[in-house]
Structure 1
C-alpha cells in the first residue's frame, strides 16, 4: 500500500487508523478526558539522584497541582516546602508543573526543594565579656562556626574558628541527607530481620563521611586516633547495617575512611581564602624555610584546647591588635580598672594566642608585653582540704609532692629564692609557723604571681598558665596533671594512663560503696 492510499484510508475511516495504533497511544488518548475517571494512576517520584519512589493515586490525578504536591509530601514523608517538575515531551527537559493536565499514567515527577527567602538585618553589636567566664588565663566569649562539605566556612563577628563546646562525652551521629537516611532506615530494618549488611553507594558513602567530618571539625580540627575510633563506633552502633565483617569492632574501616576524609576536608578548607588561621598556620607558605614540609612542625593543641589558634576578631588586623596591646599597658597602671582590663584582654585573646604559638615567646618577653596576664584576682578559699587532696593525688600517682610544691619557712626566704631560680615549674609556700605568709607560682625560674589564697587556687591558676603560654606538663608530674585534666576537668577523658584509670575506678568504687552504706 502506497503512502497516498494509506492517507486515503485514514481520511475515509478515521476509526480504523485509531484502532491500529499502539496500546500506549490508545491509553494516552483515553486519559485526556476527565483526569479523575482514569482509575489508579502510577507516578515515579524522584526525590534525589539515586532516590526514587513509586506513588499510586487510587482516585486518579487530582484536579489541582496543590493536591498533587500534598499527596507527594504525605506519601514521601517530606517536611519542607517543595515544587514539582515533569519531563516535557516537546522540549525534552524538566518543566515546572503548573497544570495536572500535563500528567498521565506512568509519568515521572521530580521533587524540587524550595529554599525559603531570608531577610537579613544587620545591627551593630557591642563586644561584651562575661565576668563569670573570665579568668586569669583570659578566657573569652566564643562563637562556633558552621560549615559543610559543599560550602565554605562563614566568618562570625568574633572569629570563624572559635568554639564553645568541648568534645562531647557521647558522640551523637548527625542527620544525613534525606536519601541517605531513608536507605539507612531500610537497611537497619533489614539487618534486624536477616543480619544482612548494607553496601553503601559511592554517593551515600560520600554523604556520610562529609557530614561526619563537618561534625568532627565543629569540635576539633585535629582529632586524635581515639576520637576517630569513637566516631566510627558510634556510627555502626547507631546504624548497625553499616557494621563491617572481619573488623574486631565492626568499624575499623570506617575509622580509616574518616581519617582520610578529615585530611581532605582540612585541605579543602585551607585552599580557600575564607579558611581559618587555625588551618592556614600549618600551610607550607606560613612556615619557616627550615620547616617547609606539610607534615613538619604541625601546630595543633597540646592537650584538648578548643581554641588552640583562634582567628583575629572581625575587621581586626595584627597592626590594630598591637595598638590594643599597647593601650593595655597604660590601663594596667590605672587603679580600679579591672573591668576595662578584662575587656581588652578578652579582645586581644586571639592576637596573644597566635603570638605565643607562632613565635614561642619567652616568659620574660610575655611578662613585659602582657603584664595583665599575670595579674590574678584573690580567692577567698582558704581551706586546707583541697591542698591535702592534691598532695594525696600526687602520691597516688607515684610522683613526688616536692616536684610541684616547694615549702619554706619565713627564715628560709633567701635560700628559697636561690632554689626557686632553678625551677622550671613550681608552686612555692612560705609559712610562718602555723600560718601561711605567701603562696606563688614559679615559671622558668621567675616568680610570675604571688599572694595567692591557697595551694589549690595556685594549681588552678598554674593550669591556666600552662594553656595560655602553650607549655607542656612537667615530666615528673605528668600523671598528676593528666588526672586533673581528664578526671577533675573532664577534658579529653579518652586514653587515660593505666595509673590514672586505676585510681579513677578505685575512687568511683569507694564513692559508690560509701553511698550505699549510708
Structure 2
C-alpha cells in the first residue's frame, strides 16, 4: 500500500471518487491497520496512539469542565458524567463517555457520532445508512451487558467501509483516518465543533486556526477549569 500511495492520493484528491467505488478499487486499504498507516502517510502522525494518549491526558480537565455545565446541556451530560464518576476498570467505556460528553458540551448530538442499535434492528441500520453521510455504528447484543457487541463499524454514503472494529473508541479514532484517506468533509452534524476539536486539540493538527468556541474550550482545558 505504501508503494501505491501517490496513485491513490492523486485519485482521491483529483477524482473525488464515491466511497463504494474507491473501496472496490482499493479493497486492501479498508482494514484498521491500513487506515492507520494511510493516515500516517498523509499526516506523518500515528493516529490511534496519539488519539488515545491525548484523550487520556485531557480527560481529567474535560471532566472538570463538563461538571460545571448547567442548564439543558448539563442535564444531558449527567449520564456520561455518572460513568466517569463510577471509576470503572473499563477504560474504553470511560473514554467513550468523554467523547460523547464532548459532543454534548459543544452543542452537538452524541448520537451522530456513535449510533447504537440492538442486533434485531437491521432495518433501522439500513435506513440510517441511506440517510446519514457518515457515522460509527455499534450493534449491541440483545440482552447483553454494556460493552458486549455483535459488531462495530463505520459507514459512509450508505456503504459499510469498515466492520469488526475492536471498540467504539477505536472507531472514533479510525473514522478520522477514513476521512483523511478518502479526503472527505466532516459530517455536517459534527463539523463545527466536535471533529474540529478532535483534529485541532486532541491530534494537534492545524491548531493555529481554531474557531472561537473550540479556542474557548481549549483555553478552559489548559487552565484546568
Q: TM-score normalised to the size of structure 1? A: 0.31
Deviations 1:195-228 (A, max 9, x none): xxxxxxxxxxxxxxxxxxxxxxxxxxxxxxxxxx
Contact 2:129–2:157 (CA<8 Å) still a contact in 1? no
Distance (whole Å) between structure 2 residues aligned to residue 468 and residue 390 of structure 1: 22
Task: Point out which structure has higher relative CO (alpha carbons under 8 A, 6+ apart).
Answer: 2
Shift in Å at residue 428 of structure 1? 0.4
Residue 121 of structure 2 is aligned to residue 417 of structure 1: no
Residue 158 of structure 2 corresponds to: 445
**Is 1:496 aligned to residue 205 of structure 2?**
no
Q: Which residue of 1 aligns with 2:180?
A: 467
1:367 aligns with 2:23: yes
Q: Secondary structure at the match of 2:20?
A: helix
| Match among 110, 116, 119 for residue 401 of structure 1 | 110
Q: Residue 477 of structure 1 aligns with which residue?
A: 190
Counterpart-to-counterpart distance in 2, 1:415 and 1:362: 23
Distance 1:355 1:377 in 2: 21
Q: 1:115-514 maps to which residues of 2 (within 5 A)?
A: 345-377=1-33, 383-432=92-141, 433-434=144-145, 435-478=148-191, 479-510=193-224
Residue aligned with 1:384, SS: helix
Deviations 1:32-76 (A, max 9, x none): xxxxxxxxxxxxxxxxxxxxxxxxxxxxxxxxxxxxxxxxxxxxx
SS of residue paired to 2:184: coil
Partner of 2:76: none
Say if 2:135 and 2:156, in contact at 8 Å, map to a contact too: yes
The runs of 5 or more residues in structure 1 that have no matched partner are: 1-344, 512-518
Distance, in Å, in 2 between the alignment partners of 1:474 and 1:410 is 25
- Return the TM-score normalized by structure 2: 0.69
| Separation in 1, partners of 2:209, 2:33 | 34
Q: Which has the higher mean CA deviation after the structures are superposed, 364-373 or 410-419?
A: 410-419
8 Å Cα contact 2:113/2:135 also seen in 1: yes
SS class of match (1:448): strand
Give distance in 1, aligned partners of 2:125 and 2:8: 32
8 A Cα contact 2:138 2:149, kept in partner: yes
- How many Å apart are 1:377 and its aligned residue? 4.1
Q: CA deviation at 1:501?
A: 1.3
* CA displacement at 1:419 relative to structure 2: 2.2
- Distance, in Å, in 2 between the alignment partners of 1:354 and 1:472 is 17
Q: Deviations over 1:336-388 (max 9, x none)?
A: xxxxxxxxx00110110001111111212111110011122499x97212111
| Alpha-carbon distance in structure 1 between the residues aligned to 2:124 and 2:195 | 28
Cα distance in structure 2, aligned partners of 1:360 and 1:411:
35
Runs (5+) with no aligned partner, structure 2: 35-47, 53-90
2:56 aligns with none
Equivalenced residues, count: 166
Q: 1:389 to 1:409 in 2, by over 3 A?
A: same
Tell me, in whole angstroms, the C-alpha distance in 2 between the residues paired with 1:369 and 1:495: 35
Q: Report which of the two structures shows the higher radius of gyration computed on alpha carbons.
A: 1
Task: Give the whole-Å Cα distance in 2 for the aligned partners of 1:497 and 1:361.
Answer: 29
Give the structure 2 partner of residue 76 of structure 1: none
Name the counterpart of 2:42.
none
- Give the alignment of 1:54-93 within 5 angstroms: none
Supply the distance in 2 between the matched residues of 1:415 and 1:495 (Cα, whole angstroms). Answer: 38
